[in-house]
Amino acid sequence: MARTFFDRIWDAHVVTELGGGWVLLHIDRHLLHDLSGGPALADLASRGLTVSRPDLCFATPDHAVSSAPGRNGETYTDGAKLYATLRDRTRDAGIAFFDLGRRGQGIVHVMAPELGITLPGTTMVCGDSHTCTNGGLGALAFGIGSSEVVHVLATQTLRQQKPRQMRITYDGHIPFGVTVKDVALHVIGALGAAAGVGHAIEHAGPGIASMPVEGRLTLCNLSVELGAKMAFCAPDQATADYVFGRPLAPVGDAWEMAVRDWAALRTDDDARFDKEARFDMAAVPPTITWGTSPEHTAAVDGVVPDPRAASNAATRDAWQDALDYMGLRPGQALRGTPVDWVFIGSCANSRLSDLRDAARVIRGRHVSPGVQAWVVPGSVEVSDAAESEGLPSLFRAAGFQWREPGCSMCVAANGEIVPPGQRSVSTSNRNFVGRQGPGARTHLASPATAAASALAGAIADVREY
Amino acid sequence: MQPFSIVSGPAAPLMRQDIDTDVIIRIEHVNVPRAELGQWALEPLRAPGFVLDQPMFRGAPILLTGANFGCGSSREHAVWALQGLGIRCVIASSYGDIFFANCFQNGMLPVTLPETAVVSLAEQAARGANVTVDLRQCIVIAPDGTQHAFTLDPVRREMLLEGVDELGLTLRSATQITAWQREDALRRPWAIPNSAGGGSVNTDPLM
Ligand code: SF4
C-alpha cells in the first residue's frame, strides 16, 4: 500500500498497539523550557518518578527571562523562580541545560535545529505548540500539554492516535519583497485557522524544494496557526547539508547511515491524503494581519475588510470584534496605518536569514521617531553569527534595540509588553487578543515588512524600499 | 482524577468562535497555583454582565461555545482554569487539538456536536434551564428533551468513566519500552544524540 512520509516515520516509532487506533509512540527528542519544564519535573518528582531518558531531553530558558542587554535569570523577577527551577531540576536529572549567556541558549525551536538536536526522521515533543517548527527538518514534531510532558519524562513515550493527513503543495517562485512568512500568512488566510485541525500537514512540491531550510522552519512554525497537530517538509539534500556538522548531529558511520535512512523517507507518488491544497507562491503579495486571528490577513497594499461581507454571522461578529479591538475601520487602507512598536523576533522569524532580510531594508536608514523597534535574536548562536556580520551595529545605528535571545514580546511572558492600545508590527506568529500585552494591537508580518514599517512609522509596503 | 458519568446543570452559552487558550487563561497567570486559576479564567472577556458571572451561570458545570475552542497555545492551565470555574464539560463543534487532548488528562469532557445543535442548545440554555450530558450513553439532553448523540473515542471514554490517567497505564509497559529502545539503538544508531556510531550520554554536549 502506498505510504506517506508521515506513515513511514510514525510506523517506525510504534512501541506497541494499544487498541482502538491508539499506539504507544516512542519520542526521540524532548525539549524543555522554563514555563513548563521545571513545573513538569517537579510534578514528576511528586509522583515518585524519575526521568527515564535524560539523554534525550534538552532544556533552555526562553519564555520568562528578560531580553534586556546584560540580563540574567533574575532580571525579570517574576520569572526568576521558573528559571531557577528549570536549571536546578535539569541538573539533578542529568538533562542538558543551555544556560543564559552560553551557546545553545535561545528559543527552544530555534536552538534545537541549529544544535543538531532536531534530526530528520525523528519524533520530537515539547510543552509548546510551536514545536511543529522542527518539522522543517523532516521531524515529526508536535506540542503537548503539561500532563503529557510528565508522561514523556517518565516513559519517553506518548499514547497517541494517528492524525489525519493533509498535503499542501507549493508551486512557483517567491516574488521580490515577499518572504516565506508572507506565504505562510497567505495560506492561513486562504484556508482558515481551523483548516488543519486533527491533521499532520506535509508541505511539498517544487516550492519547498527551492525553499531554504530556514524558510521551511518558518513555514512549519506557522502551520499550528492552521490548527495542525504537526507539519513537516520531507528531508532532501538541503536538509542534510543544513544538519551536517552541527554539534549534536551524528558523525562518521552514524552519519552515513542516517543519510541513507533519510533518503528513504518519501511520500509515494500514489499516496492519498485526507485533504489537499495547492498554492502558487508567485501570486503571494507581502501579507499582513489586520485582526486578532492569524487568518485575518490582507495584502499589505489592501484594505481592512467589511464585516458585512463575511460569509456567515459568526464570522461577521468575529470580524467586528477584531476591528473594535484593533481600532480599525472597514475599508481603511492598511498601508500608512501609524505604528508604535516593531518587534523582530520569535520562533517564527528570529533566525539569521530573517535578521538579514530586515537588515537589507534598513541599511543606511533610520527608524521613524516615536517608534520603539526591537530585534530579539532567536538564540545565542544566531546572535553570534549576526555579530560576525556586523548586524547588531547596523540595527543600532538605524535606531533599533538589539537584545538578548528569548521569546520576549512574542508572548509577553517576561514582562516585555506592548502597552495597551498601542499598535505593533511583529514578526511573531500570534495576534490573539492581548498576546503582546493587555490591549496591545498586533499585526503579524515578515521581517522585511516589519523593518520597512519601523522606518515609515506606519505599516509599509517593503517593495517601495 | 474524578470519574465522569452524568453531569446535569446549567449550561453557560459563550457563543464566540476561536476562543484561544491565551483568552481562557492569560500568560501572566501560569504561575498561579492550579486550584486558584478559576478566578482568572476568560479574563479578557469578563466585561460587566459576562455570562459566567451571571448568578444563573456561576458554577455552571457545562460550557456551550463556538467552533475551534481552545485553539492556540498548549498550556494545560486552560483546562485547569475552566475547572476552577466548576466546568466539567465543554460542548462545541470543534476544538484546538492540544486543548482537546488535555481535557482527558484532567477528567474534563469535550463534547463535539454539529454547530446547529450547539446553537440550539445555547438558545434553550440561555434562561438557565438544565442540560444533561450522559457519557455512558454518549448523549446530550436539551432542556426541551431533545437528545443529541455524540461520538467519542472508546479508549478516552473509558478513561473518563473510570477516572484513570494515561501515565498510570503506560508505566505498566516499561519493559516493552526498554526492549524497543534496545532494538532501535541497533536499527538507528544515528538517532542517539551526539552519536558517533555508539552513542553517548553527556549532560554538557557542547563541551
Ligand atoms: S517565540 Fe513565541 S511562539 Fe515561539 S516558543 Fe516563544 S512564546 Fe512560543
Q: Write the DSSP assignment of A1-30 as a string of letters.
A: ----HHHHHHHHTEEEEEETTEEEEE-SEE
The answer to whether position B148 is within a domain reads yes
Kindly state whether residues A89 and A213 are assigned to the same domain. Answer: yes
> So what's the pLDDT on residue B34?
84
> So what's the pLDDT on residue B206?
64
Mean pLDDT score across all residues of chain A = 96
Kindly state whether residues A338 and A233 are assigned to the same domain. Answer: no
> So what's the pLDDT on residue B65?
97
> So what's the pLDDT on residue A294?
97
The answer to whether position A114 is within a domain reads yes
Q: How far apart are CA A174 and CA A253, in angstroms?
A: 38
Q: Do A193 and B71 touch (CB under 8 A)?
A: yes
The answer to whether position B169 is within a domain reads no
Facing residues of A66 across strands? none
pLDDT digits (tens, 9 = 90+) for A12-70: 999 999 988 999 999 999 999 999 899 999 989 988 999 999 999 999 999 999 999 99
Q: Which of A20, A36, A117 shows the shortest C-beta gap to B155?
A: A20
The answer to whether position B69 is within a domain reads yes
Alpha-helix residue ranges (DSSP H) falling in A223-283 = 237-243, 252-263
The answer to whether position B144 is within a domain reads yes
> So what's the pLDDT on residue A360?
97
Q: How far apart are CA B52 and CA A137, in angstroms?
A: 44
> So what's the pLDDT on residue B204?
62
Mean pLDDT by 10 residues, chain B (207 residues): 94 94 89 88 92 94 96 89 97 94 93 97 95 98 97 92 89 94 95 60 54
In this complex, how many residue pairs, one in chain A and one in chain B, have their CB atoms less than 8 Å apart? 210
Chain B contact for A148 (CB, 8 A cutoff): yes
Query: What backbone phi and psi angles, to 5 degrees, belong to B91?
Result: -120, 120
Q: Please give the residue range of the domain that contains residue B97.
A: 6-152
The answer to whether position A289 is within a domain reads no
The answer to whether position A306 is within a domain reads no
* CA distances for A158 relative to A27, A30, B2, B170, B172, angstroms: 7, 11, 22, 8, 13
Residue A163 DSSP one-character state: P
All residues of chain B having their beta carbon less than 8 Å from the beta carbon of residue A55 are: 192-193, 201-202
Find the mean pLDDT for residues A310-325: 93
Give the cell for residue B24.
Answer: 481562557
Kindly state whether residues A351 and A207 are assigned to the same domain. Answer: no
pLDDT digits (tens, 9 = 90+) for A177-192: 999 999 999 999 999 9
State the closest ligand 1 atom to the C-alpha of A378, by its place in the atom list counted from 1: 1
Q: Whose CA is nearest to atom 4 of ligand 1?
A: A347
Looking up residue A152, the CATH number of its domain turns out to be 3.30.499.10
Kindly state whether residues A89 and A234 are assigned to the same domain. Answer: yes
Give the SS3 label for residue A202: strand
Q: Which of B74, B177, B201 shows the shortest C-beta gap to A127?
A: B74
The answer to whether position B40 is within a domain reads yes
Can you say how many angstroms the Cα of residue B23 is from the centroid of all Cα atoms in its chain? 15
- CB of B35 within 8 A of CB of B85? no
Closest among A357, A406, A422 to A181, alpha carbons compared: A357
> So what's the pLDDT on residue B2?
87
Kindly state whether residues A231 and A371 are assigned to the same domain. Answer: no
Give the cell for residue A302.
Answer: 489592501
Kindly state whether residues A341 and A270 are assigned to the same domain. Answer: no
**Contacting A residues, span 282-301, partner chain B, CB-CB under 8 Å:** 293
Kindly state whether residues A338 and A268 are assigned to the same domain. Answer: no
> So what's the pLDDT on residue B200?
39
> So what's the pLDDT on residue B73?
80
Contacts of A29 (CB under 8 A, 6+ apart): A56, A58, A112, A117, A118, A119, A122, A123, A124, A125, A139, A141, B193
Kindly state whether residues A371 and A249 are assigned to the same domain. Answer: no
**Number of domains within chain B:** 1
pLDDT digits (tens, 9 = 90+) for A387-423: 999 999 999 999 999 999 999 999 989 999 999 999 9
The answer to whether position A325 is within a domain reads no
Kindly state whether residues A176 and A240 are assigned to the same domain. Answer: yes
> So what's the pLDDT on residue A448?
98
Please name the amino acid found at residue B150.
F
Kindly state whether residues A54 and A184 are assigned to the same domain. Answer: yes
Q: Maximum distance among all alpha carbons in chain B?
A: 69
Give the cell for residue A371.
Answer: 517608534
Looking up residue B96, the CATH number of its domain turns out to be 3.20.19.10
- For residue A205, pLDDT beyond 70: yes
Q: Please give the residue range of the domain that contains residue A175.
A: 1-282
The answer to whether position B34 is within a domain reads yes
Please name the amino acid found at residue B112.
T
Find the mean pLDDT for residues A285-309: 97
All residues of chain A having their beta carbon less than 8 Å from the beta carbon of residue B193 are: 29, 55-56, 58, 117, 248
Min CA distance, B90 vs chain A (Å)? 18
Number of C-beta neighbours around residue A386 at 10 A: 21
The answer to whether position B201 is within a domain reads no
**Number of domains within chain A:** 2
pLDDT digits (tens, 9 = 90+) for B80-133: 999 999 999 999 999 998 899 999 989 999 999 999 999 999 999 998 999 999
The answer to whether position B126 is within a domain reads yes
> So what's the pLDDT on residue A395?
98
DSSP string for B31-64 = TS-GGGGGGGTTGGG--TT-GGGSGGGTT-SEEE
Q: How far apart are CA A225 and CA A218, in angstroms?
A: 12
